[in-house]
Chain A
Amino acid sequence: MQNGHIFTFAGQAMIARPSGALFWPAEELLVVSDLHLGKSERISRRGGALLPPYEVQDTLTRLEADIAATLPRAVICLGDSFDDMVAVTALDPDHANWIANLTAGRDWTWVTGNHDPAPTGLGGHAADVVTCGPVTFRHIAIDGTSPEISGHYHPKARLRVRGHAVSRPCFLRDDMRLILPAYGTYTGGMRTSDRALGQLMAANARAILAGLPMVEIPMPR
């Protein structure tokens, strides 16, 4: 459980990791969503607060740790990897090199998101949609009938424990959909009780809470 919660999706064994990353052992595939790199830079650029400028470093440090732990053949970043396109060019050169080193020697895909629609030029390649075996990967879930893995919503779930509530980013899954939590350090969340998620997910949907201990619960509505 320290290394993740194992479950079956589309007939395949998958591991939800405490960090919010997904690992598919049979394909040696690591999936992360909504890194939102460059968020503090974008906020300052738009005249907002000057937040601690360390979130790229923190997000990449965690990603590097997940890669070191799972040694993936392929990596998919499920969209909104950058907070916007300007954030890509504004990236600190050290961080750009760091990303290039991570992508080197791996089949690395940047799925386009609503924040970063164009390819990024940091190693790897861009795509709107990726398929792998029976599974389709895209940024935003669509009303589909085949197994699909997506991000975008930043789901988080609340669990009441003896008088107080624990709120954590979570994976959501039903028979056809798997939605990943936001991986980036500077990201908030949308409660699973939100109507958008309620309409999207089937009645038997479950939430896997990221962080430790990892537990699975019926998706709180």
Chain B
Amino acid sequence: MQNTLQQQQKDVLLTQTEEISGSEAVLKAFIEEGVDTIFGYPGGAIMPIYDALFDFDNKLKHILVRHEQGSIHAAQGYARTSGKTGVVFATSGPGATNLVTGLADAQIDSTPIVCITGQVFAHLLGTDAFQETDIINITTPVTKWNYQITDASEIPAVLAKAFFIAGSGRPGPVLIDITKNAQLQKFQFGGYQKCNFIRSYRPKPVVRKEYIEKAASLINSAKKPFVIFGQGVILGKAEKEFKAFIEKTGIPAAWTIMGLSALPSDHPLGVGMLGMHGNYAPNVLTNECDVLIAVGMRFDDRVTGRLDKYARQAKIIHLDIDPAEIDKNVKTTVAVWGDCKETLPLLTELTENKVYPQWLQRFKELEQDEIDACIYDELHPKTEQMTMGEVIDVLNELTNAQAVIVTDVGQHQMVACRYAKFKESKSNITSGGLGTMGFALPAAIGAKLGAPGRTVVAIIGDGGFQMTIQELGTIMQCNIDVKLLILNNQFLGMVRQWQELFHSKRYSFVNIESPDFVQVAKGYRIQGKSISKREELKNSLREMLEYKGSYLLEVMVGKENNVFPMVEAGSSVSDIRLK
């Protein structure tokens, strides 16, 4: 009896399976995972997947980039504004190796990405075949997980695992390498099942009440508590919980560059940005607070400055989802492991309703010092040439702080992150950890596709723009409505600033020449304009924002302006210099 029943079930199962190719299985998996956009570039070893994609045209939008690095940065931008996993296709060999920078960027900035790379036929592995490269071993240090598929029947389960790993816990990039034979091979497909458990993988540590209690009592007894927060708040979708926590406890909060926009810029308890070019008050007062509460941040060296002089006087509470971050750089007094979406409300419940008027006043005083020493001059310069800060300031006014701001790397990035205002979360897209020049242009493409209803402004330097300038072709072909704002100081400005300050003004190879960006854009059928006079600024920015479609505005700014304040490398955060 039992046997017949099992046999019947088996028969049912068999009739439910269908024979499909590995390539189709990949695309079916994407649809089940809610993927709507793929960023990619075809090539020999991924042709079967592209062939199958031809029939999925109505369900999956494919964005043809101009270089594989562009595809992964675009996927990162998409992931960061949409909160979903970004998806990339690339071929074997050079296609795959061109992803490495983006993988490293996504790994250090915890961005959920699934990359599918084609690979040579399984029987050719290890023979130095045409466009064969050992991409699994090349990408091992820069992926959260990677796996090579040589048999089509593995595809559904492996892809399910890939999406689960990329998007859960502390997110990160996953690379799946699929040999060409597996893409072509037909197999019995029994349906797709999402993965939500891997026995060796613990996306979220179990929250332990006793640590929450200890943290709460420490917070309740504090006289000068200070909250610092990072992207963990955004990744954990815990913006509301975070706001509730600081509002109840009355604790001033500063963001890291990656945490920027998780809290509205005008929040009364928001006291600015931490780090090397962050604000004066939060850096100085890190070394004055008595309890430092770090939420979803990893004490990067650009935030801490010299470690042996970092918050030595304070008791430290660290909330993080990744156990490896606890005590990695800064010794914790109380570690609260877990997803801050879960831990913050528990902590809020146990903390007392408080205000710290005197302590907040300290922040205000130091903020005034910073305004007097550098902010005022940056925003209201007496120089003939424009400053980057005043451009951002006018932009804030015109966008009403509601745009997604994508930045590249360098001086303009620091200035934009210092002065850009935000009302909504997931609005600041930048390469924080890896510092990848060339990130912004492709990331802005993805950011727009991830948040189609929002205005996306990519702020880019003249150096970084030339690193991925070919993606103008993607903007042209796919009609992506992004605003490109080039802040051109005719230098590789950040390196020049360091050469000025620390290398006796020996300007070694920072004098970069640029093409006529407006003409280049024109070649790609993108509208553009270049300005160098202050009187033109507001109208030109307005014109850019109001233009239907992509637009490039180049603003010529002061050549040798520096970004201040600055915590010099090897200095303590409280020794931050104002000029």
Pairing of A with B: no
B residues contacting A by CB (< 8 A) are: none
